[in-house]
Structure 1
Amino acid sequence: METRVLTVDPEHPDPAALAEAAAVLRAGGLVAFPTETVYGLGANAMDADALARIYAAKRRPANDPIIAHIARVEQLDELAREIPASARTLAGAFWPGALTLVLKRAPAVPEVIAAGRDTVAVRMPAHPLARALLQAVNLPVGAPSANTFTRPSATTAAHVLEDLDGRIDLVLDGGPTPIGVESTVLDLTGPAPVVLRPGGVLLEDLQGVLPETTLAPRYLAEDGATDAPGQLLKHYSPRARVLLFTGGREASRARMQEETRRLAAEGLAVGLLLAAEDTAAFADTAAIEVLGAEGDHAAISRRLFEALRALDRRGVDTILVRDFGRAGLGAALWDRLLRAAEGRVVDAGA
C-alpha cells in the first residue's frame, strides 16, 4: 500500500488532518502518530481485525500485548474490570502522561490486544497531537511503538517510514518525540503494584503515591508468554551487535577502548554510543554518536534510539555503550540498553 504522510503542527493540529486520520482508524486502518514517549502505530482497540493488522505490519509476535490509548479517564471502564482504587489514584497523579497500567480486561475488549491473556494495558498520552487524535476518533486506540519488531523504537516520522513505509496507511508527522523512551508499565493485577518496564514515569515518583510499588522487569525469550508490552529480552535492537559495559566510569572506558582495538584488529567496524565526557578517550574511532552529558538522562533518552539507528546506517558491526546509572530515568536507559544488547553485558569492575 502507499503510506501517506501528513505534516501536522503538534500544538495546533489541522482539523482536516485529524479527521482524515480518525476516518482511517474507524475504517480499520493503521495510523502512526507521535506520543510524548515514542511514535505509536495505532488501530481501533475494539476491532480485532485492525489489531491483527498491527501485528502483521510490525512482524510482531502474537505473544506481545499492545497498549490501549485513551483520551478520557472514563474510557478506562470500557477497557478494564475490577479496577482497583489505586488505578484511579495513579490516573489522577500521572495521567495524561507516560504511565501504562495493566488491569483485568473487560469482556468486550478483543483478546488479541492482550495476546490472549486476561489483562489489558492502558494509558492516556500527554502529547497534544496524540490527545487531539484520540478525541477526534472517540475510540480507544491500540498502539505499540511504530517500528518493526525488535528494532529501535521510532522517535521521528522518518524512523517510522524507515521501517513501515508501504505497510501502513498514514503517518502524522508531529516532529520528534520529547521523552524518547517508552512509558512505564505498572501491573496492578496482583497483591502489590509492580513496575514491569521502567520508562517515562520514574519509580521514585510512583513510590511517592504508592509506597509499596516495586521494580521487577522481566527479560523473556521471544517465545515466552508476556502479560504486558516490552518484556522480551531482544527488543529495541539495531542490526549491529551491541555490547553493554557496566562498572566504574574509568574501568568501563578502559574496557571499551580495549574491545574497540580488538574488534578493529579483526577487521570489524565499531560504533560507539558515548556521553559527551567520553569522546576525548575515543578520538580515533570514526563511528561515534554522542548521546548527551553523562548526568543528563533526559537528553540521553531523547537521543538513544536515533543514535542506534544512525550507527546502523553507518554500517557498523558492533556497538559499544556503557551504563549511565540506574537512578531515576537511568533505570529506563539501563532496561533499553540491556534489551538492545540482548543481555550481552561486560562487567568492567570498579
Structure 2
Amino acid sequence: MLRLRRGVLTQVLSSLSASPVSPLHRLISAAAPAISPNPSFPVEEYLVSTCGLTRPQALKASAKLSHLKSPANPDAVLAFLAGLGLSDADVAALVAKDPQFLCASVERTLAPVVAGLSGLGLSRSDIARLASLSRYRFRCRSIVSKLQYYMPFFGSFENLLRALKRNFYLHSADLDDVVKPNVALLQECGLGACDIVKLCISQPWLLTANLERVQAMVECAENIGVPRASGMFRHALHAVAFLSEDKIAARVKYLKNTFRWTDAEVGMAVSKSPMVLTRSKESLQRRSDFLISEVGLEPVYIAQRSEIIGHSLEGRLRPRYYAVKFLKENGLLKRDPNYSTVFKVSEKAFRKKFIFPHKEAALDLAEDYDAACKGELPTNFRFT
C-alpha cells in the first residue's frame, strides 16, 4: 500500500511550498476511496498487515487506537510518510513508538509542518529523518519554531540530529523559559558559541534541565578546580554533568588511590583533565598499571600531564611506548624521549619523528607499529 501511494504523494509534496494543504487533500481523497465507518475495524490486524508491526507491537499499540472506526485517516498518514521517503521499516518503527501518529491530520498538521520545515531549508530526506526521530513531536506544529532556533544554534542539521538522538526533550522544552536562560548562563561562564555547541551536542540535557540544576553543575565544575575563564571549563562541565557531589568525591578518591597521588596531585590532575572523572575504574586501573609499573613514570609526572590518561591504551599508549622502547634498546635514539610528547603528539607527528627516520635501519618498524596500533602487539619489535 505504501509503495502504491509513494508516487502520488511525491508529486504532492513537491508542490508544498506553493500550496501545502489543498492539493494534498484533493489527491489523497482521490487516491483513497471513501470508506464508511466500521465499528468493528480490526485495528490490530491493520497494524500488522498494513503498517508492518509485529503481533506483540500491534497488540500494545492497538490499545491507543481503539477509537478508530476506519482506515481512512491512517491510510492518508501512511501515504504521506511514504511520499516523504520513509521506508516500510521506518514507518513501522515510527508507528510502534507513536501509534497515535496514525490519527494526525495530514491537511491541518503534517502538511503544514513539512511546508514549514522546507522553508527552513531542510530537504525531503532531512524531513524524513526528522519524522523518524521526532515521533509525536513531528505532529505538533510548534516543531517548526523550535527548529528555527536550533538550526542556527547547532550550526548544521547533522549536529542537531546528534543532539536530538541524545535528548528527545529538545523538541518539547520551552525556548524562552528553559533553553535560552541555560544558554545565557553558559555564555556568562565564558564559553563561546563554538564551545557551547560542542558541549550541548554531547550533553544536550544542559539545554533542557532546570536552570538551578545547571547552576549547580557550574559550581561543581569550579569546585574541582577549573575556573570559568579556563579553556577546560567546557570539559569540566561535561565531566560533572548530573553527577552528585558524593559521586564526584568517590571518583576523586579512586583516582588518588589508583595513581598514588597526594591530595594536591589529584587536584592538579583533575583540574588539568576533568574528563578523567568519566573513566571507568577498570580503565583507570589499567592505565595506572601501564604508566607507573611498565613505563616507569612517576605519579607526580602523570598528575602534571593527566591528559595522557585520556588516550587509548591499546590504540596509542602501548604501541608508541613499544616503538620508542625498541628504538632506545637498539641505539637509534640520541637521547631519552619525553613520554609526554610521545603520547600527546598527533599520529602524523609521531610517525614523522619516531618511525620514518628509521625505516632503513629498522625495515620492519613501520609494519610492526601498524600491527601494534591494530591490537596485534608483538612481544618484541623486529630488528633486521
State whether TM-score is above 0.5. no
Bigger relative contact order, structure 1 or 2, given CA contacts below 8 A and separation 6+? 1
Highest Rg: 1 or 2? 2
TM normalised by structure 1 equals 0.24
TM normalised by structure 2 equals 0.22
